[in-house]
Structure 1
Amino acid sequence: MTAHDLSTSGQLPEDQLPITVREGLDFGLDGDIPRHWFGGDPFKTRFFDAMSTLFPEGERFFIACVRDYKDQISDPAHKQVLLDFARQEAQHSKVHNAFNHRLSKQGIKVDKILANQRRNLFDIARKTMSKGHTLAITAASEHITALMSHTFVENRHHFEDADPRVRAMYVWHAVEEVEHKGVAFDVMQQVAHVGYWLRVWALLMVSIQFPMFVFQILNHMLKVDGFNRWQRWGIWLKGLWWLYKPGGLMGPLLRPYLAWYKPGFHPWDAGAPGEFQTWMRVMQQSGDPIAASDALQPRA
């Protein structure tokens, strides 16, 4: 079926990846991963650690918001796409919960973070907003995640210093986010008939709230790591420069981010990065997500 139209069936567009559910992958997360696994840099490490704490409840929210419309879809192939989307997201929650267990042992208040996230998404958003609003938030969040996935994999030099096990977890997550990047958007457009301005509002809201939550959690993690206020100031200045400097981690996200605001936008307009095919080839040959991730790294 096409990603662009839930009302028709056919072959996948040439640039679209099939949604594949990969279960039982071993990332070695119970091994001797350093506390600051990203080249010893506390900001880089905790930036990704903070995102990991938000994923389990966020993925559960996305599944619920898409499932709100499953009874309005009758075609078996389209129902299967929704099922595969949900199964991928459930696997992401499972793996990040395992990773977050490591963080709990370090003194990070993961349970409190998850409870706050659960309250914001399920006790507030799901109970006070319409299904169309929460689906728009889901699609906007998926857009942010997918464009980060595109850019992080394509600009792989940024991750040379990361522990290969954690890097492999994020590369796997990135591949699957790209595979299903059009699902929530298609349901939003084709089934829920969400209008353009609600779509715009949703991304603006997510663009403010997501980094705000990540940075709040990151600061908590730096405190737990024992850095005093002045040390944290230095870590933040260096870290924000890494994120937002010209050629930094976030710069390449701007153009694909803004594409959302074009009236005729679709997530698959950007296709899929060629590097993802490298990951899939090595993954199929080896069955090892770490080897597949390492295959994307720059060669000496």
Structure 2
Amino acid sequence: MKQTTVDLQQEFTGYSGPVMPERRDLHFLPPGNRICDWHQAGPNVTQFMNALSLFFPAGERMFIDAVRAYRDEIPDPDLRKAATAFIGQEAMHSREHIEYNRLMDAAGLPASELDAQVWAHTEYVKNNSAKVTPLLMTIALEHFTALMGDTLLRHPEQMAGSQPDYERMWRWHALEEVEHKAVAYDVYEKCVGRGPKAYAMRSAVMLTTTATFWPHVMLFYRRLAAADPACVKAGWRGHLKLANFMLGRPGYLRKLLPEYLAYFKYSFHPWQQNNAHLLAEIDQLVDDAEAAYASHAA
């Protein structure tokens, strides 16, 4: 008997609540005058989060194109529906991060230059690789975003006290990354396969993606920090504060390592990390975001 997307999630999590991704057309309008200091942990952590944002417009477009390329081949109607919702969610993420990144440009940060580098890379991959390669990169990067979303949601103290509009936007993105974390992976398994060759390909691309993505994140962070007077003033102490935030105590990225390594299990599936209960806050966040947007737009 074939397993649907719902069956897979219930098998791994026992969670019987909503599992189908939903396209939510939300706007956030974070204040431009806070783009360099919105995070409660200070300007260096702010610029690290800003660096991550620079990867989303081009990255989300690659994810959309990668899943769309296989959508007509998906045999499971539930998964086909989930793929369409995934595409809708990623389109909303891209739109909001484009607006977010423009705030960096307005503040004198080299956002457009760095964003162009990401677009050039994703276009090169799209035009010079096999059809499966963007999908392999998508499932690798979706694993990263799902894990980062998970830690943000499990550890609300990570952003507590930050500027509310920025915090709300990042929590929305985190929730939807958790909600659709298995879609691209399921498309890969249904359309490409689950055998030794499929495992070897996804493991190899995860290794190369890890080796290229994180160094570029840190390079982008250094470029943003070098253009931010507050980070320049903080000097090496600011970089140490960021290192502690990521790798020391609290070490939010360090805490992701076990779940990151789980990707290399032959039997891996994203919903083996049972965190579907985190989705319970989506409706309240949507209400809060719509109310905040209405207030800003008034």
1:252 alignment partner in structure 2: 255
8 Å CA contact 1:4, 1:186 repeated in 2: no
8 Å CA contact 1:153, 1:275 repeated in 2: yes
1:104 alignment partner in structure 2: 105
2:122 alignment partner in structure 1: 121
TM-score normalised by structure 2 residue count:
0.86
Q: Is 1:28 equivalent to 2:29 in the alignment?
A: yes
Partner amino acid for 2:71? K
Cα distance change, pair 242–13 in 1 and its aligned pair in 2 (3 A): closer
Structure 2: gaps of 5 or more residues: 9-13, 293-298
Cα distance change, pair 5–136 in 1 and its aligned pair in 2 (3 A): farther
TM-score normalised by structure 1 residue count:
0.85
| Percentage of matched positions with identical amino acids | 30
In 2, distance between residues paired with 1:38 and 1:227? 13
8 Å CA contact 1:150, 1:273 repeated in 2: no
**Structure 1, residues 181-210: CA drift from partner, whole Å, max 9, x if none?**
111101111102261111111211222222
Bigger mean CA deviation after superposition, 30-39 or 254-263: 30-39
Partner amino acid for 1:209? T
Deviation at 1:44, TM superposition (A): 0.7
**Structure 1, residues 105-147: CA drift from partner, whole Å, max 9, x if none?**
0112222212111111112x12222122221111010001001
Q: Give the SS at the match of 2:115.
A: helix
Paired residues, number:
282
8 Å CA contact 2:39, 2:163 repeated in 1: yes
1:18 alignment partner in structure 2: 20
In 2, distance between residues paired with 1:261 and 1:4? 23
Deviation at 1:273, TM superposition (A): 4.6
Q: Is 1:242 equivalent to 2:245 in the alignment?
A: yes
**Which residues in structure 2 correspond to 1:225-236 (within 5 Å)?**
225-226=228-229, 231-236=234-239
**Structure 1, residues 226-279: CA drift from partner, whole Å, max 9, x if none?**
3687853332122112210144211321111111011001001113253431x1
8 Å CA contact 2:4, 2:76 repeated in 1: no
Structure 1: gaps of 5 or more residues: 7-11, 293-300
8 Å CA contact 2:39, 2:46 repeated in 1: yes
8 Å CA contact 2:126, 2:134 repeated in 1: yes
1:136 alignment partner in structure 2: 136
Deviation at 1:22, TM superposition (A): 0.6
Cα root mean square deviation, aligned: 2.6
In 2, distance between residues paired with 1:248 and 1:291? 33
**Which residues in structure 2 correspond to 1:286-297 (within 5 Å)?**
287-289=287-289
Given candidates 207, 216, 221, the residue that maps to 1:218 is 221
Q: Give the SS at the match of 2:72.
A: helix
1:202 alignment partner in structure 2: 205
**Which residues in structure 2 correspond to 1:139-158 (within 5 Å)?**
139-158=139-158
